[in-house]
Structure 1
Amino acid sequence: MWHARAGEGYWNPERGDVSVPDGWVFVPAGDAFVTREVKKGPHWVLLKRRKGYTAKLGVFCPEENLDVAEKRREETATSRARQRAVGRTSRERAEERYRAEMERAILDFLAFRPQHAALAEEIAQGAVTQATPVGSGRVGRTRKLSLPERAELAARAYVRHRHTNYEARLEKIREGMGFDIDPDPDDPLYREVKAEAHRDVEAFLERHR
């Protein structure tokens, strides 16, 4: 790894001040394909220390290697675009399968009587939408819990927010605080509201099972 100095020139922790070899060029970070290609051959990685972290600015490599990498980028552009499309379709199908599995697991947890089937479907579909956005970090995305556990938590959260007075109670706490933010989880009043909502959810589930 070579580091950019404050002034001109470069420095390596093992070699000290160094100069870029003749015939080498700088490839700025940003084109992942070209960077991967040139790093298959001789190269230097250029770093720059910034406040709190070290940034990778790019790489130096022989100019002919860059020419080969750029030519290969153009030659493979169509096939790589096709591969990305296939990968995107595969991920979308996997996501659809997961959402369907999650919905079935929620219906299994609810176990509502037949006359409440429409309500169960509404809860299952709403809970899946609420709990499974990719990258959200919500309960539907965690792998630390089993599918049935995720389904139960997602269903309970949806019922709590949509079929109890939890939101209205929470709004009263916010009004009392004077801030439009959620209260501290350790706040006694908030814990009381959560406990009441838990009891309301249990009662709601029992009424429909």
Structure 2
Amino acid sequence: MPETIEVRPSPKPRHVFTVQGNLLAVPAGWELLPPGDAALSRRIKADGPHWIVKEKKGRKVFSRGIWAPAKRIEALRLALETERADPAYTRKLEQSRARRARQESAYQEDFKQALIDYLGFHPRYELLAKRLADLIGNHATPVGSGTVARTQRIPIEKRAEAATIAWLRHQTTAYDHMHIPRQKGARREVRRMLAQESKCLLAGYRQGTRIDVENCPLQKALQTSDR
């Protein structure tokens, strides 16, 4: 059945599982293109029938390659190698990388400003807000980090709020060491409760209240980050 489908790995050589759980034999003459060459993978997908292999582990989904006709993979690989050997390709690639770097730098600055806006600290704590925004932004914005800061599905203001609450959850609460029952909704409820605690923590800085730096979880987290 040479068509374009998504499949799951199988321990049986040259076999895969469909998303419905059915075992399929890989068509004769096909080979597995490992993940790693994004340009070649895109061309394989655009050129004809192929099977995309994905594996889910926990909440994450990993690419395990693409099954496609071996002759087609080899032909497209050779064409791509020839193209890459052309100096014009190198110049184009460098220009593309420079453009992405500029875009990424601009996004990081925009995101850190969104963090500062969300924090909304009293002028007394302005420097602390900038420092906290740097810490959260440096953690959340790198490409491939998989954090909420990288999604485009929600406005940047919501991304900043979610990233702040997530950082505070891990840095100022006992969340990482909690034993949470494996029950539906249990983890969500714990996160909701801790989010409220984090917002209460931020309220003091927003109001300009004098903070007990010896016992403030945020101050302790900032001290830890300096080490």
TM range, smaller chain: 0.5 to 0.7
- Which blocks of at least 5 consecutive residues in structure 1 are unaligned? 3-28, 37-43, 61-66, 175-182
Aligned to 1:142: 151
Match of residue 78 from structure 1 = 87
Q: Which residue of 2 aligns with 1:87?
A: 96
Q: Which residue of 1 aligns with 2:105?
A: 96
Aligned to 1:197: 194
TM-score (norm 2): 0.54
Contact kept, 8 Å, 1:45 with 1:56, in 2: the verdict is no
Change in 2 beyond 3 A, CA 1:132/1:184: farther
Structure with the greater alpha carbon radius of gyration: 1
**Per-residue deviation, 1:103:** 0.4
Whole-angstrom distance in 1 between the partners of 2:178 and 2:67: 47
1:104 Cα shift?
Answer: 0.4
Unpaired stretches in structure 2, ≥5 consecutive residues: 3-32, 54-65, 207-227
Q: Are the equivalent residues in 2 in contact too, given 1:139–1:154 (CA < 8 A)?
A: yes
CA apart distance, 1:173 = 1.3
RMSD (CA atoms): 4.2
Distance in 2, Cα, partners of 1:186 & 1:173: 14
TM-score, structure 1 as length reference: 0.58
Paired residue for 1:57, among 70, 78, 95? Answer: 70
1:191 to 1:85, Cα distance in 2 relative to 1, 3 A:
closer
Deviation at 1:58, TM superposition (A): 2.8
Q: 2:179 matched to which residue of 1?
A: 173
1:119 to 109, 128, 132: 128
Measured in 1, the distance between the counterparts of 2:130 and 2:80 equals 53
How far 1:113 moved relative to its partner?
Answer: 0.8
Residue in 1 that maps onto 2:184? 186
Identity of aligned residues (%): 29
